[in-house]
Chains A and B, each alone.
Chain A
Amino acid sequence: SAVISQKPSRDICQRGTSLTIQCQVDSQVTMMFWYRQQPGQSLTLIATANQGSEATYESGFVIDKFPISRPNLTFSTLTVSNMSPEDSSIYLCSVRPRERISYNEQFFGPGTRLTVL
């Protein structure tokens, strides 16, 4: 299994500012993902972040808006830039440990609840 922590757990920000969310995993993982979830709704993949390479963004998400860093196999950051109220959401970090690849099992962090005023 993998234990994931995220910081901050929640934040209230002003529009036009940026917030960096940190994700720390208790073991080394190759595959790390960032999701967005509106309360009561589905999870939408923002990007896949592999150590040593540029993040791969899904349609509708761009690097200028959601820059991601992946400096090592246990840590990643997601920045939400130039925020607007539409960015208010829960942001989740997720990993797929190598030993669980055949089960397609992903572990999720507790999430960062972001409110933009």
Chain B
Amino acid sequence: GQSLEQPSEVTAVEGAIVQINCTYQTSGFYGLSWYQQHDGGAPTFLSYNGLDGLEETGRFSSFLSRSDSYGYLLLQELQMKDSASYFCAVYTGGFKTIFGAGTRLFVKA
């Protein structure tokens, strides 16, 4: 079967750093993506890791270790507007992407 595991919920304070982990087990793997979704909104793309290592985009960074079937999203200098759900997603090939169950991030003042 295919599975992506990520924590269901994370809480952090404004200004802090939070890491959301994702482990995956899929029949094919080309890369790991992260999406953000605010309540009532559409998912929006944050990052993609096709190779091992760290990708940085502003306050957000994403990491991938293909040998460990593991990745994470790192959010720095948390802001209240970062409160949202974050989905890891695996591109398995054939133009198909599988999404994790999502991690709900609560940022407190």
Chain B residues in 8 Å Cβ range of A105? 33, 45, 48
Chain B residues in 8 Å Cβ range of A104? 30-31, 33, 48, 50, 91, 97
Taken residue by residue from 78 to 92, chain B's Cβ proximity to chain A (1 for < 8 Å, 0 otherwise) reads as: 000000010100010
**Residue B43 lies at the interface, judged by CB distance under 8 Å to chain A:** yes
Q: Are B42 and A42 in contact (CB under 8 A)?
A: no
- Least CB distance from A89 to B in Å reads 14
- In the complex, identify which listed stretch (A11-19, A70-78, A80-88, A108-116) lies at the interface while the others stay far away: A108-116
Q: Are B95 and A96 in contact (CB under 8 A)?
A: yes
Per the CB 8 Å criterion, the residue count for chain B at the interface is 22
**Residue B59 lies at the interface, judged by CB distance under 8 Å to chain A:** no
Q: Knowing A103-B48, A104-B33, A108-B44 are in contact, say whether A48-B95 is a contact too (CB < 8 A).
A: yes
Chain B residues in 8 Å Cβ range of A111? 42
Chain B residues in 8 Å Cβ range of A44? 99
- Least CB distance from A38 to B in Å reads 11
**Residue A45 lies at the interface, judged by CB distance under 8 Å to chain B:** yes
Choose among A40, A92, A104, A108 the residue with the greatest number of B CB atoms under 10 Å from its CB: A104
Q: A51-68: which have CB < 8 Å to B?
A: none
Q: Knowing A92-B42, A108-B42, A111-B42 are in contact, say whether A41-B102 is a contact too (CB < 8 A).
A: yes
CA A114 to CA B101, docked complex, whole Å: 20
Chain B residues in 8 Å Cβ range of A110? 41-42
CA A110 to CA B43, docked complex, whole Å: 8
- Least CB distance from A96 to B in Å reads 7
Chain B positions within 8 Å of A, measured between CB atoms, are: 30-31, 33, 41-45, 48, 50, 85, 87, 91, 95-102, 104
Chain A positions within 8 Å of B, measured between CB atoms, are: 4, 31, 40-45, 48, 92, 96, 102-111
